[in-house]
């Protein structure tokens, strides 16, 4: 039996629509998986706290998994040309849970819970700074500087710092070490809302290089983590953190040489869209 011309045209169109929907759903599915990893970290942290144990490594790895999936979903969306406003908003909400709430709960369960109200407020400060950092990123999307740098430490990196602490699972017996950990939480919180710029590596997704290059970089990092364990993550975290701080110091010194009246503005508004080492 022969199909009419209308039926023969409708089937391919329907198939194309289904494939297009699948392409649009995949990045959001990865975002939801990252959200699930962050939510799981919260539950694991609370379970360890209530059990009175210091077994927070799984909660830390859950945050690391969320960070990997967060880096994957946006790149796949750009690779498949499936970016959407819905996906962007969903990603921002998932980031708030995975890189704001989850690491703060982890830090509180590990150490800060033993410090009373001070630990409580430090954990909240991390959540507040992560939310401000994400909101500032959302409103700055499209600015020229945003292609090369992030203004402030990215929340996945800050969350990764606390997750690495849980993965290495040091026992903080003395009050001095606990206050050093508190200082680290405050330091990472401040960096998220600071004017310090950190490389975004979005140049890897330029038209000439194609987003597939950044996907290959993520896969390489995954292979290194599987091969050498958490030491790879620690090295990458330290290099990224120190690299951003050192580059900002060099740029500030360059600005002071050209204009000695340039103020030091670690926080607040600062016009440096044209300022770059390379």
Residue 150 has pLDDT above 50, yes or no: yes
| CB burial of residue 199 (10 Å; 0-12, 13-18, 19+) | middle
* Model confidence, pTM: 0.80
**What domains sit in the chain, N to C, each tagged with a CATH number?**
25-258 (1.20.120.1760)
Q: What is the pLDDT of residues 101-145, one digit of tens each?
A: 999 999 999 999 999 999 999 999 999 999 999 998 888 765 555
34 contacts: CB under 8 Å, gap ≥ 6: 65, 66, 67, 69, 70, 73, 94, 98
Mean pLDDT of 94-104: 96
Radius of gyration of the CA atoms of the chain, in A: 22
Give the per-residue pLDDT at 270.
57
Q: Alpha helices, DSSP H only, in the chain?
A: 5-51, 57-79, 85-96, 102-110, 116-140, 155-168, 175-192, 212-228, 230-258
Sign (positive/negative) of CA torsion 55, 41, 187, 146?
positive
Q: What is the pLDDT of residues 216-247, one digit of tens each?
A: 777 787 788 777 778 888 998 999 999 989 98
User: In terms of pLDDT, which residue wins out, 176 or 164?
Assistant: 164
Q: What is the pLDDT of residues 23-77, one digit of tens each?
A: 568 888 999 999 999 999 999 999 999 988 778 999 999 999 999 999 888 778 7
Give the per-residue pLDDT at 277.
53
User: In terms of pLDDT, which residue wins out, 252 or 68?
Assistant: 68
In which band, very low, low, confident or very high, does the pLDDT at 192 lie, cut at 50, 70 and 90? very high
């Amino acid at each position: 039996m022969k199909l009419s011309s209308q039926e023969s045209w409708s089937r391919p169109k329907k198939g194309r629509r289904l494939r297009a929907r699948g392409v649009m759903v995949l990045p959001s599915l990865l975002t939801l998986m990252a959200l699930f990893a962050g939510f799981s970290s919260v539950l694991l942290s609370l379970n360890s706290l209530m059990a009175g144990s210091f077994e927070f490594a799984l909660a830390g790895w859950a945050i690391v998994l969320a960070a990997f999936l967060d880096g994957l979903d946006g790149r796949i969306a750009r690779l498949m040309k499936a970016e959407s406003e819905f996906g962007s908003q969903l990603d921002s909400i998932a980031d708030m849970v995975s890189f704001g709430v989850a690491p703060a709960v982890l830090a509180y369960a590990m150490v800060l819970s033993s410090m009373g109200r001070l630990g409580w407020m430090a954990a909240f400060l991390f959540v507040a700074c992560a939310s401000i950092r994400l909101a500032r990123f959302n409103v700055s999307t499209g600015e020229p500087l945003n292609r090369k740098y992030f203004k402030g430490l990215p929340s996945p990196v800050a969350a990764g710092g606390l997750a690495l602490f849980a993965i290495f699972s040091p026992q903080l017996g003395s009050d001095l070490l606990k206050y050093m950990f508190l200082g680290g939480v405050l330091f990472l919180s401040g960096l998220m809302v600071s004017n310090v710029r950190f490389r975004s590596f979005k140049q890897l997704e330029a038209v000439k290089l194609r987003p597939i290059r950044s996907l290959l970089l993520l896969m390489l990092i995954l292979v290194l983590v599987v091969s050498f364990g958490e030491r790879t993550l620690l090295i990458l975290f330290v290099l990224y953190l120190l690299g951003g701080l050192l580059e900002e110091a060099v740029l500030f010194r360059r600005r002071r040489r050209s204009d000695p009246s340039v103020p030091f503005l670690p926080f607040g508004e600062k016009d440096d869209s044209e300022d770059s080492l390379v």
